[in-house]
Amino acid sequence: MRSRVAVVLFACLLCPSLLAQQRPDRRQQQQQDIELKNFTFLDKAFHSDAVDQEAHYCIYLPKGYDDEANKHKTWPLVIWLHGLFENRLRFHSHGFGAPVLDKAVTDGVLPPCLFVLAEVDRMSLYVNHEKKRWEDLVKVDLLDHVCANYRVDKDHKHWALMGISAGGMAALRITLTQPELFGTVAVHSSAVFPDDPEKLPDRMKQMVQQFGLDDVLGNPIDKDKWAKMNPLNIAEQLDSKTVKDLRIYFDAGTNDRHNFGATNKLLDEALTAKHIEHTWQLVEGGGHAWGSGFKEESLMKSLTFVGQAFGASGAAKGKESGKDKPPAGKGDGKDEASGRKGESGKD
């Protein structure tokens, strides 16, 4: 308990805005009041063996999902991973992501889909511990639960993993190490760290250790274990052939308070050196995560990127189960940045 309290106090000293995120938010209590044209929003739970407890998640179902006419249709899948000290409701009610998601479908840049908001322990960093396997909660238990209980398109090219901050780090780690799970990864302000933990500022070294990750990373930090968690290290060791079919989008701001703009640029350079296709956006003046125009601009860009992966005509309206699947392309050409080897666009 003492170490957990220390984590909260240290993290709040590191980033005062986290204090506000710890307080109850009335907007989270009013999540059902958000009007959506294209989705029905549900708050659900199931038992996860990976963490041996009830796991909560939210899901946006396409309007008409339960209609008799749609009973044989399957739908593309998106899973969203929240950031540090956030939960499953942040995207919907506090992060203001729901209106952008709804507009993306209205504008036709994203087809109707199953959009799932995962939830893990707020300080877990989505890392597998000895007793609580938080990464497995997402990539095994939640994925299995959703596929068993909803009509998910079986073509993994129509599955996307998205996230923000710590959730972005986890989404990159999962997709770069297991590219067969998801066809697309699209993330924002991802917690990408230097490839050598010795390059971390002292205050961040202390934070990593105080997050209770000694059993995962060691104390002092074990460089081999660090390399397995950090997206930059993973990218530097990638065989480009293993991710040749993975569509990759990531962005970060020049004014990110954790300097993730600079480290995400290193990730761009590592992928470019490997000749791995990806789309990278350095957002001029952008801050960290939900700030600095993120919800209005960057989120719509990532949803558009995902929509291009789902852009085949069958995926756009749901597909009849058992019928031949149309090919999943690299995009329909509407986004010029799509598929380039490191597009350093500035917003």
The CATH code of the domain that includes 44 is 3.40.50.1820
Digits of tens for pLDDT over the chain (347 positions)? 444 433 433 343 344 344 334 444 444 444 457 899 999 999 999 999 999 999 999 999 999 999 999 999 999 999 999 998 899 999 998 768 999 999 999 999 999 999 999 999 887 889 998 789 999 999 999 999 999 999 999 999 999 999 999 999 999 999 999 999 999 999 999 999 999 988 887 777 766 665 556 767 777 888 988 999 999 999 999 999 999 999 999 999 999 988 899 999 999 999 999 999 999 999 998 999 887 767 678 999 999 999 999 984 333 445 544 433 333 333 333 333 333 334 333 33
Is residue 24, in this structure, part of any structural domain at all?
Answer: yes
Encoding tokens for residue 213? 């990750």
Count of domains forming the chain: 1
* Residue 254 placed within a domain: yes
Write phi, then psi, for 8 (nearest 5 degrees). Answer: -60, -45
Q: Which DSSP helix (H) or strand (E) runs through 262?
A: helix 260-273
Give the whole-angstrom CA distance, residue 161 versus residue 181.
9
In a domain, 338, yes or no: no
Look-up of token digits 């004014």: 255
133 within domain boundaries: yes
Residue 339 lies in a domain: no
Which residues lie below 8 Å from residue 88, measured CB to CB, with a gap of 6+? 43, 56, 57, 58, 82, 117, 118, 119
Task: For the beta carbon of residue 34, count every other beta carbon within 10 angstroms.
Answer: 15
Instruction: Identify whether 344 is part of a domain.
Output: no
What is the rounded distance in angstroms from the CA atom of residue 163 to the CA atom of residue 139?
13
pLDDT of residue 211: 59
Rounded to whole angstroms, what are the CA distances from 246 to 18, 101, 137, 226, 235? 33, 22, 22, 23, 13
Of 272, 275, 244, 232, the closest CA to residue 179 belongs to 244
Strand partners, 340: none
The structure tokens listed for 308 are: 């291009």
Burial 196-211 (b: 16+ CB within 10 A, else e): ebeebeeebbebbbbb
CA angle 119, 331, 306 (to 5 degrees): 10
Q: Count how many residues are written for the chain.
A: 347
274: containing domain: 2-320
CB 112 within 8 A of CB 77: no
Model pLDDT, residue 230: 95
Task: Report pTM.
Answer: 0.82
Determine, yes or no, domain membership for 327.
Answer: no
Domain membership flag for residue 186:
yes
* Tokens coding 132: 């609580």
Is-cis flag, bond preceding 327, omega within 30?
A: no
